[in-house]
Chains A and B, each alone.
Chain A
Amino acid sequence: MGGQYRLLGILLAVLAVLVLVVGGLSAALLIGGGEETGGNGGTTTSSPSEAGPDASEGGETVEAASGRLRLPGIDPITLDPHLVTDTGSAQYVAEIFSGLTTISPDLELALDLAESFDISEDGRVYTFTLRPDALFHNGRRVTAADVAWSIDRALDPETSSLVALSYLGDIVGARERRLGRSETLEGMRVVDERTIEFTLDAPKPFFLWKLTYPTAWVVDSQQVEANPRNWTRNPNGTGPYQLKEWRLGERIVLEASDRYYEGTPSVKEVLFELSGGSTLTRFENGELDVAGIGVNDLERAQDPSSDLGPLYSNSVEMSISYLAFNTEAPPFDDVNVRRAFAMAIDRAKVAETVFMNAWLPATGIIPPRVPGYTAEDKTYTFDPEGARAALAASSYGSPEGLPPITLTEMGGGASASIDTQAFLEQWREELGVEVQVRQTDRATLTADLDDGRLQIFVDGWSMDYPDPESVIDLKFHSTSPLNDVRYQNTAVDALIEAARVEQDPERRLQLYRDAEQILIDEAAWVPLYFPLAHVVVAPRVEGWFAPPLIMPRLRFVTVTE
């Protein structure tokens, strides 16, 4: 038995010595190696299995690193354009795939795979002519049949797309096709190899905008049919970039496509680092070319005399965060209670102290850069007196008359609720109302929204395209499924319906602005902030911008030395 003991002991001792030696050696090597390559951050990381390819370009490591764009990213939920619902996935999809129309960097509608289009007199028939030089990454030419097959696939029940109907639902027969009641899409017709025609159920001026969303884009029928489950791992798209490498949780590499109709994009390779961690520190270490700035670093980044100052910029995200009142749930069925709650909070103060002004206090419902936006503040200003008066004027009369009130918000981490906690305190102080907070995950929040069980909730809305229809109509028309606050107002409905068919752009915007003002006055929402994207961009990068919408942008970037 002694021998057995000794054997074990020796084994453990050997193991210990081995670890110490390897550890010490590698530490020494790391410090040595760090000096050599640390400056330009060009150390290629690779798993042992990749030693081969790296070996051949061992000497050129630094050069290769500087010729490409390195961005922070997250693992996409899906790369199938017809299924995409989140912006995280969309940033890759928007580069790999494309559709008939797209959004230009200055947020104008632009043609993409389509060379021209024609709208019939009654505004219901759209005819697109495809570019003759539009190619898939593998060199196959994009035909009208490809477009038709893709749109039909997006609506095919077997594709199980959650979003197809939201963007393609205006085409005649789309709903029937999506729900499997029809085998074909009635309103779509392939005229010839380069011409495709859509018939809409009504004149819809924003149909061209809806086609800029990935669910209307083109995929390669041959590839999808050959490998319906796994084709997105190596997708054959029509966009300016193609997927070169995807290592889950580690990195995604996009490579410029030389089949792109406008020529190969300037940046040949774009690396997305997926592993997380503090992107700003990695930016400062020279590991990334772009980094987002969080609240904690904002002051430093905005200081022009700091290292980051000259590299810093911000842009509007074309979205809005808001407090919403369920207008069917007591006590918020009373407009005066909603007004009181809206007037009792000091958003500017909270934005300043809690967010360090990282977000703009919202001036209305329509976000900046969207037609119809005006800079003047249309919302309730902080007015404790007015708030108390409004509460007194309500049918509940006083704080004591109110039923228990709960605010619901999404919170994954323990501190997600900083600003709402400030609001709770202001309601307590200015109105004398105790509001409970309830944090849920996304799943619970959506389930409760659908059931109409919430009283106050905090949420956000991102525009799909720069048109007020994308928020005013979708969120507030009494029949819209997205009307989470259950707002019913015939005057607002009338304005929205008039705007749907109004052909004069200026009059149409005015209709939306009128509706917006009613919504704010009636406090269906309390607009809180217009989120800003704060970034630092390395000096060698030109033309980079944070996309406020789903749109391709990498081909507009250049990287200089």
Chain B
Amino acid sequence: MTSAVAETPAAPQGDAAPGLSGVSPGAMLWRRLRRKRLALVSMVVIAIVYGAGILAPVLAPYSYAEQNLERTLEGPSSDYWLGTDRLGRDMLSRTLYSARTTLILTVAVVLSGSVVLGVGLGLLSGYRGGWVDGAIMRVGDIFGSVPGLPMLILINATTRPRVDELARWVEEHTILSNELTTTGGASYFTVAVALSLFAWVGMARVIRAQVLQLRERDFVLAAQATGATGARVIGRHLLPNIAFLIILSVSAGLGAIAGSEIVLTWFGVGVQPPAASFGQMIFAGSGARTFQAHPHLLLVPAVVVTALMFAFNLLGDALNDAMRGQ
């Protein structure tokens, strides 16, 4: 049972019997996770990609949009470590900035979709119960039953022009001159909102189920009996107990969010040029003939994206296994 792969089934492990050792579930989970080497490696990979995204402006040797038409489609060289694309832009810099796009969007969607919408609605649903619960869960059912990808493409295709207009209007009527449109900010916003719309359902269901359990527990009942307000019960007693669950679900969902952005951009409805995205890089390298002639166009983003997805998947699996031990 000591395989290198973090696939050990969640066999009961003596020292971590829940509730006995007095450790919080989160700490326990962390301990269990730490024992899985591959999960740790995954976290390191994710940290590297995200770190590259954060530090992109510092690390990148060129700007992501800087073109050199004299040196297009070159392979790796000392000037351009990962080669150049069709416009003579540095592939390394574009990769770093694509990581930044991934970072920005996953964080934005996790915060707005999973945490604010998902946790908020999950808590509300589980704690209030009754028709509120029913309504939220039915809405969740509807979101869960529409085909996600076509809907995301449709939403992005039709709303982006409107968001663009909005951004322009905001720029004209505030002190902003063209910060929103130059950075592609409007397209980031559209993608983030669209993804958030679909990201909250799973989280809300998990939180609701947990809250339903906790609601019957002694300490919550006691708090309610002493006349604590709903907000206080949620803030003091419920949230700390589901915090680990939130972290868990968020980590498990990151991969899907990052993948969705890449795919939407690949279809041409995601992040807009000149902003860099793995989706664009992959699209530019697609085509069997292109791949034959200039393999680095596809390989560079492909390696990074695959490594990232691999890490997200392994982490998700490891977390799921660790949860099964609960």
Answer yes or no: are A and B bound together in one complex: yes
Q: Is A397 an interface residue (CB 8 A)?
A: no
For A404, the closest partner residue in chain B by CB is B178
A280: contacting residue among B69, B177, B289, B293, CB under 8 A: B289
The answer, among A411, A414, A448, for a CB contact under 8 Å with B279, is A414
- A residues within 8 A CB of B72? 353-354
Determine whether the beta carbon of B69 is less than 8 Å from that of A278. Answer: no
In whole angstroms, how far apart are the Cα atoms of A448 and B283 in the complex? 27
Residues of B within 8 A of A278 (CB): 287-289
Q: Kindly state whether residue B18 has any CB partner on chain A within 8 Å.
A: no
Question: A406-B181, A415-B283 are known contacts. Are A437 and B289 too (CB-CB below 8 A)?
Answer: no
A411 to B147, CA, bound (A): 24
A415: chain B residues within 8 A (beta carbon): 86, 280, 283-284
A436, B265: Cβ atoms closer than 8 Å: no
The stretch from A5-13, A70-78, A232-240, A438-446 touching chain B is: A438-446
Q: Do the beta carbons of B288 and A281 come within 8 Å of each other?
A: yes
B48 contacts chain A at the CB level, 8 A cutoff: no
Interface pair A437/B178, CB less than 8 Å apart? no
Asked if A297 lies at the interface with its beta carbon under 8 angstroms from chain B, I say yes
B265-306: which have CB < 8 Å to A? 265-268, 270, 272-274, 277, 279-280, 283-284, 287-290, 293
Q: Is the beta-carbon distance between A421 and B293 smaller than 8 angstroms?
A: no
**With the chains together, A281 CA to B274 CA distance in Å?**
32
Is A439 a contact partner of B87 (Cβ separation < 8 A)?
A: no
Docked complex Cα distance between A113 and B323 (Å): 79
Contact B67 A434 (CB under 8 A): no
Tell me how far the C-beta of A416 lies from the nearest C-beta in chain B, rounded to whole angstroms: 7
Decide if A437 touches B272 in the complex (CB within 8 Å): yes
Partner of B284, one of A280, A412, A414: A414
Q: Is the CB of A354 within 8 A of B87?
A: yes
Nearest CB to that of A405 among chain B residues?
B178
Interface residues of B in 34-86 (CB under 8 A from A): 65-67, 69-70, 72, 86
A425 within 8 A of B: yes
A398 part of interface (Cβ distance < 8 Å): no
Q: How far is the CB of B64 from chain A (nearest CB, A)?
A: 11
- CA distance in complex: A448, B273 (Å): 20
Could you say which of A406, A413, A434, A440 has the most chain B C-beta atoms within 10 Å of its C-beta? A413
The residues of B that contact A412 with a CB separation of less than 8 Å are 268
Per-position 1/0 for A418-440, Cβ under 8 A of B:
10011011000000001011111
Which single residue of chain A is at the shortest CB-CB distance from B86?
A: A418
The interface residues of chain B lying within 8 Å CB-to-CB of A350 are 69
Q: Assuming A421-B274, A436-B182, A439-B273, is B177 touching A411 (CB within 8 A)?
A: no
Indicate whether A349 reaches chain B with its CB closer than 8 angstroms.
Answer: yes
Across the interface, A353 reaches (CB within 8 A) one of B69, B168, B182, B266, namely B69
Q: Give A412 to B270 CA distance when docked, in angstroms.
A: 11
Chain A residues with CB below 8 A from B88, complex form: 353
Write out the residue numbers on chain B whose beta carbons fall within 8 Å of the beta carbon of A386. none
A439 touches B272 (CB 8 A): yes
| Alpha-carbon separation in the docked complex, A441 to B65 (Å) | 23
Taking a contact as CB atoms under 8 Å apart, the answer to whether B273 and A421 are in contact is: yes
Minimum CB–CB distance from A445 to chain B (whole Å) comes to 10
B144 interface hit (Cβ, 8 Å): no
Whether A417 sits at the interface, judged by CB under 8 Å, is: yes
Chain A contacts with B in 374-416, Cβ cutoff 8 A = 404, 406, 411-416
Give Cα A411–Cα B66 distance, bound, in whole angstroms. Answer: 21
Q: Are A413 and B268 in contact (CB under 8 A)?
A: yes
| Cα–Cα, bound, A281→B182 (Å) | 40
**Is B67's CB under 8 angstroms from A414's CB?**
no
Q: How far is the CA of A421 from the CA of B277 in the complex (A)?
A: 15
Q: A406-B181, A413-B268, A413-B283 are in contact. Are A438 and B171 (CB under 8 A)?
A: no
In Å, the complex CA distance between A418 and B283 comes to 12
Name the residue among B69, B157, B272, B273 with the largest chain A CB count within 10 angstroms: B273
Question: Can you list 5 A-B contacts (CB < 8 A)?
Answer: A281-B289, A353-B72, A422-B87, A425-B87, A438-B164
Whether the Cβ atoms of A414 and B280 lie closer than 8 Å is yes
Contacts of A417 in B (CB 8 A): 273
Q: Which residues of A are at the interface with B, using a C-beta cutoff of 8 A?
A: 278, 280-281, 294, 296-297, 349-350, 353-354, 404, 406, 411-418, 421-422, 424-425, 434, 436-441, 444, 448
B9: chain A residues at CB < 8 Å are none
A439 to B168 Cα, complex, angstroms: 15
Cβ of A436: which chain B residues have Cβ within 8 Å of it? 178, 181-182
CB-defined contacts of A434 to chain B, threshold 8 Å: 178, 182
Q: Which of B66, B161, B178 is within 8 Å of A444, CB to CB? A: B161
Q: Which of A296, A411, A416 contacts B293 (CB 8 A)?
A: A296
A332 to B81 Cα, complex, angstroms: 41
* B97 → chain A closest CB, angstroms: 15
Q: How far is the CA of A281 from the CA of B292 in the complex (A)?
A: 12
Taken together as a complex, chains A and B put the C-alpha atoms of A350 and B67 apart, in Å, by 12
> Which one of B181, B266, B270, B280 lies within 8 Å of A404 (CB-CB)?
B181
Supposing A294-B289, A434-B178 touch, asked if A354 and B86 sit within 8 A by C-beta, the answer is yes
Q: Is the CB of B87 within 8 A of A437?
A: no
The answer to whether B272 and A438 touch across the interface, beta carbons within 8 angstroms, is yes
What separation, in Å, do the CA atoms of A416 and B287 have in the docked complex? 14
Q: Which residues of A contact B283 (CB under 8 A)?
A: 413-415
Closest CB in chain B relative to A191 CB, distance in Å: 53
A416 to chain B: closest residue by CB: B268
Given A413-B283, A421-B273; A296-B161 close (CB under 8 Å):
no
Select one of A349, A404, A406, A441 contacting B157, CB under 8 A. Answer: A441
What 4 A-B pairs have minimum CB-CB distances, sorted nearest first? Answer: A414-B283, A414-B280, A404-B178, A415-B284
Within 8 A of A (CB), among B108-136: none
B70, closest chain A residue (CB):
A353
Contact string against A for B residues 215-254, beta-carbon threshold 8 Å, 1 for contact and 0 otherwise: 0000000000000000000000000000000000000000
Of A438, A440, A441, chain B has the most CB atoms within 10 Å of the CB of: A438
Contacts of A296 in B (CB 8 A): 287, 289-290, 293
Find the B residue at minimum CB distance from A353: B69
Give Cα distance in the complex from A281 to B289, angstroms. 9
B-chain residues with CB within 8 Å of residue A297 when the two chains form the complex: 289
Decide: A422 and B182 in contact? CB cutoff 8 A. Answer: no
Evaluate whether A421 and B289 lie within 8 angstroms (CB atoms) in the complex, with A353-B72, A414-B266, A438-B164 already known: no
Say yes or no: A349 contacts B274, CB within 8 Å. no
Q: Which residues of A contact B181 (CB under 8 A)?
A: 404, 406, 436, 438
- CB-CB nearest in chain A for B284: A415
Contact residues in B for A421 (Cβ distance below 8 Å): 65, 67, 87, 273-274
A440: contacting residue among B86, B161, B178, B267, CB under 8 A: B161
Residue in contact with A422 in the complex, picked from B67, B266, B288, B293, CB distance below 8 Å:
B67
Q: Which residues of B contact A411 (CB under 8 A)?
A: 268
Q: Distance (Å) between the CB of B197 and the closest chain A CB? A: 21
- Residue of B with least CB distance to A436: B181
- Chain B residues within an 8 Å CB radius of A414: 265-268, 270, 273, 277, 279-280, 283-284
Q: What is the minimal beta-carbon distance from B61 to any residue of chain A, in angstroms?
A: 17
CB distance from B72 to the nearest CB of A (A): 5
Q: Which residues of B contact A439 (CB under 8 A)?
A: 268, 272-273
| Minimal beta-carbon separation of B163 from chain A (angstroms) | 11
User: Which chain B residues in 98-113 approach chain A with CB under 8 Å?
Assistant: none
Q: Which residue of A has the minimal Cβ distance to B162?
A: A444
User: Inside 8 A of B274's CB, which chain A residues have their CB?
Assistant: 421, 424, 437
Q: Which residues from B are CB-within-8-Å of A441?
A: 157
> Nearest residue in A to B186 (C-beta to C-beta)?
A438
Q: Nearest CB to that of B171 among chain A residues?
A: A404
Q: Which residues of A contact B270 (CB under 8 A)?
A: 414
Residue of B nearest to A428 (CB): B65
Residues in B with CB closer than 8 Å to A280 are 289
The distance from the CB of B70 to the nearest CB of chain A, in whole angstroms, is 8
- Which residues of the other chain, B, contact A418 by a CB distance below 8 angstroms? 86-87
